[in-house]
């Protein structure tokens, strides 16, 4: 639903209309270590996709490569119908405004207060935004992610880890992006906070028609909010599908992951 008018529709009709992100043959690594090897993945428009995989399998690397922070060795990445490898500076800039990112450790600007952090994209990207409105929108977004009003004037170093995460999401949502990338959003939150967070993401996803790509190890999140789950293993997407598909899988790691004691505690596969 969030289709801006100025968006060039490169491929009218066809599959592209349904696919938000399409990655083909992505190979990426560091030095002589290959982290991702000819990886393919499609993210559908409006879905909430969870990415799981053991520590160090390259989930963060995949996310960073899709948003262009790492240069891939080979392969193509299409986001909202545009091939990121072929964009010029301005097109690239325009597409970057259409996604929001929460980094694994928040990555807030340390010399700005939380509220000022949320205002950065508004100030830099929207011309002529009046300060009152910017203050109001920052307050709205901070409250939306469940931060108390007194957190707005605090510096990131004065926040708890969970609060930093929330502030990071508030900043990612500042420009009402169409795609939201989240790297372990609920890690470091208490279970009640994490559940509320899941609800928040699921609601934003539903109400704003957001496409959400979420790296997570939180089985509750996977269970309650994700439409589909992708399993990253052996440098590839080993498996992608619904929770039921995961439970039926005989891939060893996947089986262990979704049938372990923690899954049972989360009420999965029982």
Partner 1 sequence: MAKAIPVADDVWIKQTPTSDSLTISVGGQWVVARIAGLFAHLQEISSEVDRPVTFDMSEVEVLDTAGAWLIYRTAKQFRGNGIEVQIIGANDDQAMMLQQAADHDVPTEIEPIPNYSLRGVIGDVGAGVIGAAQGAVRVLNFFGMILLAVGRAIVNPKRLRLPATIHQIEQIGIQALPLVGLISFLIGVVIAYQAATVLGDMNAEFLTVDMVSFVILRELGILLAAIMIVGRSGSSFTAQIGAMVMHEEVDAMRSLALDPIEILVVPRFIALVILMPIITFYADIMAMIGAMMVTWANLGISPEAFIERAHEILTGWDVSVGIIKAPVFGMIIALIGCYEGLRVSGSAESVGRQTTKSVVESIFMILLLDAFFAVFFTTIGI
Rounded CA separation 51/263 (Å): 16
Q: Is 95 among the residues that bind partner 1 (CB under 8 A)?
A: no
Q: Is 102 among the residues that bind partner 1 (CB under 8 A)?
A: no
Nearest to 135 by CA among 115, 154, 150: 115
| Residue 32 or 244 with smaller CB distance to ligand ATP | 32
| Residue 97 or 238 with smaller CB distance to ligand ATP | 238
Q: Would the CA dihedral through 74, 96, 170, 154 be positive or negative?
A: positive
Rounded CA separation 101/95 (Å): 13
Q: Is 32 among the residues that bind ligand ATP (CB under 6 A)?
A: no
Rounded CA separation 63/250 (Å): 26
**Plot region of 238 (φ>0 → left; ψ -120 to 50 → alpha; else → beta):** alpha
Q: Is 116 among the residues that bind partner 1 (CB under 8 A)?
A: yes
Stretch that binds ligand ATP, among 55-63, 94-102, 116-124, 247-255 (CB under 6 A): 55-63
Q: Is 186 among the residues that bind Mg ion (CB under 5 A)?
A: no
Backbone angles phi, psi at 200, to 5 degrees: -60, -50
From ligand ATP, Mg ion, partner 1, none, interface partner of 53 (C-beta below 5 to 8 A by class): ligand ATP
Q: Residue 200: CA atoms inside 13 Å, Cβ hemisphere, count? A: 21
- Residue selected from 149, 160, 256, 265 as contacting partner 1 according to rule CB under 8 A: 149
What minimum distance in Å lies between the beta carbon of 37 and ligand ATP?
12
Stretch that binds Mg ion, among 7-15, 34-42, 55-63, 141-149 (CB under 5 A): 55-63
- Residue selected from 157, 250, 261, 270 as contacting partner 1 according to rule CB under 8 A: 157
Query: What residue number has its CB nearest to Mg ion?
Result: 60
Q: Is 186 among the residues that bind partner 1 (CB under 8 A)?
A: no
Rounded CA separation 232/240 (Å): 9
What do you get for the CA distance between the two ends of the chain, in Å? 36
Kindly determine how many residues on this chain lie close enough to bind partner 1 according to the rule CB under 8 A: 46
Q: Which helix (H) or strand (E) holds 96?
A: helix 89-96
Q: Is 90 among the residues that bind partner 1 (CB under 8 A)?
A: no
Can you tell me whether residue 168 is helix, strand or coil? helix
67, 16 contact by CB (below 8 A): no
DSSP character for 159? Answer: S
Q: Is 165 among the residues that bind ligand ATP (CB under 6 A)?
A: no
- Residue selected from 5, 14, 30, 130 as contacting ligand ATP according to rule CB under 6 A: 30
Question: Which residues would be at the binding site for Mg ion (CB under 5 A)?
Answer: 60
Question: Which residues would be at the binding site for partner 1 (CB under 8 A)?
Answer: 1-5, 109-111, 113, 115-116, 119, 122, 126-130, 133, 135-144, 147, 149-158, 173-176, 207-208
Question: Which residues would be at the binding site for ligand ATP (CB under 6 A)?
Answer: 30, 35, 53, 55-61
């Amino acid at each position: 639903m969030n289709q801006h008018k100025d968006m060039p529709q490169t491929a009218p009709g066809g599959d592209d209309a349904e696919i938000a992100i399409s990655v083909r043959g992505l190979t990426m690594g560091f030095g002589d270590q290959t982290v991702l090897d000819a990886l393919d993945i499609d993210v559908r428009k409006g879905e909430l996709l969870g990415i799981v995989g053991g520590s160090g399998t390259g989930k963060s690397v995949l996310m960073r490569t899709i948003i262009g922070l790492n240069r891939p060795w080979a392969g193509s990445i299409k986001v909202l119908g545009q091939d990121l490898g072929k964009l010029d500076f301005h097109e690239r800039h325009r597409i970057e405004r259409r996604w929001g990112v929460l980094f694994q450790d928040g990555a807030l600007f340390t010399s700005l207060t939380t509220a000022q952090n949320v205002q950065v994209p508004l100030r830099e990207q929207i011309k002529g935004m009046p300060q009152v409105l910017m203050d109001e929108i920052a307050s709205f977004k901070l409250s939306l992610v469940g931060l108390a009003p007194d957190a707005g004037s605090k510096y990131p170093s004065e926040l708890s880890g969970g609060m930093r995460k929330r502030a990071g999401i508030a900043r990612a949502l500042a420009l009402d992006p169409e795609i939201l990338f989240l790297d372990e959003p609920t890690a470091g939150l208490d279970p009640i906070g994490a559940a509320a967070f899941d609800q928040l993401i699921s609601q934003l996803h539903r109400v704003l028609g957001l496409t959400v790509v979420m790296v997570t190890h939180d089985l509750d999140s996977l269970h309650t909010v994700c439409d589909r789950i992708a399993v990253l293993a052996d440098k590839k997407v080993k498996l992608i599908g619904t929770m039921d598909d995961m439970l039926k899988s005989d891939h060893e790691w996947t089986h262990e992951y979704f049938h372990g004691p923690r899954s049972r505690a989360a009420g999965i596969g029982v």
